[in-house]
Amino acid sequence: MDTNTHFGRIRQALEEQITSGVLPPGARLPAERLLSERFHTTRVTVRGALNSLEQDGIIYREDRRGWFVAPPRLVYNPTKNANFHQMAAEQGYAPDTSLIEAHRIPSTPQIQQMLGLPPLSQVYRLRRLRSIDQRVVLFVENYIRADYFPDLLDHDLSQSLSTLYQERYQTVYQHVAFQLYPVALPEQAASQLKVTQGSAGLLISRVNRDQSNRIIDCDFEYWRHYALVVQAETT
């Protein structure tokens, strides 16, 4: 790290406090104004350093609440059909899902293309917010073929979909096509994840097929970018 700039010095000083454990995961950082006094600089410069640490996933922010030390990343394997709750629990986190909305709606052209549906067909759209250890980390939109899952909306939608499919519809995820890239979080995802719109996130979208190779749903997962590491292997 380049310590010839205020930027670099602040970054390094904070990083040391964090890696040494003086500031443990989850701890709140001193206020920006306090940091700017302590380093004899201005808030603009301090925010530059904080943004860089955020970029690196070392700290994260909650909109208008402050900056916090980031806990270790969740390991996410998109090729295993692991559900969120199981995955988080196995890694020692306390997962939670809250349903934001669930509707039966006409499909859009984009969704028709992803699900291989004709125009005017109906889908369910779920919007859900997921957290680990009380930190919201994931905003996810699911689009589900309505014809394959009658009365889906009558069930508990805060559980994992894969569990619901299996127990109520004798359907399991078999084949997954996924795609992933860094984005600036769009408005709704940002506000649900309690960050400023435009801050960094990771978009993972998946198209899922069942044991008969039928496309059954797709989803758009907006992750806070510090929250996960994607891992997979192939033979």
Partner DNA sequence: GAGTGGTCTAGACCACACC
Partner DNA sequence: GTGTGGTCTAGACCACTCC
Interface contacts to its own copies, rule CB under 8 A: 1-2, 7, 11, 44, 52-53, 55-57, 73, 78-79, 174-184, 187, 197-200, 202, 225-226, 228-235
CA distance 210 to 221: 20
Degrees to nearest 5, angle at CA 123 with 118 and 124: 170
The binder of 57, among DNA, its own copies, none, by C-beta within 5 to 8 A per type, is its own copies
CA distance 164 to 184: 31
- Which of 88, 193 has the CB closer to DNA? 193
Q: Which helix (H) or strand (E) is 209 found in, with range?
A: strand 200-209
* Residue 45 beta carbon to DNA: minimum distance, rounded to whole angstroms: 4
Distance of CA 36 to the CA centre of its chain: 31
* Residue 57 beta carbon to its own copies: minimum distance, rounded to whole angstroms: 7
Beta bridge partners, 73, equal none
* Residue 123 beta carbon to its own copies: minimum distance, rounded to whole angstroms: 21
* Residue 228 beta carbon to its own copies: minimum distance, rounded to whole angstroms: 7
The binder of 228, among DNA, its own copies, none, by C-beta within 5 to 8 A per type, is its own copies
The binder of 151, among its own copies, DNA, none, by C-beta within 5 to 8 A per type, is none
In angstroms, the Cα distances linking 15 to 35, 115, 162 are 14, 45, 39
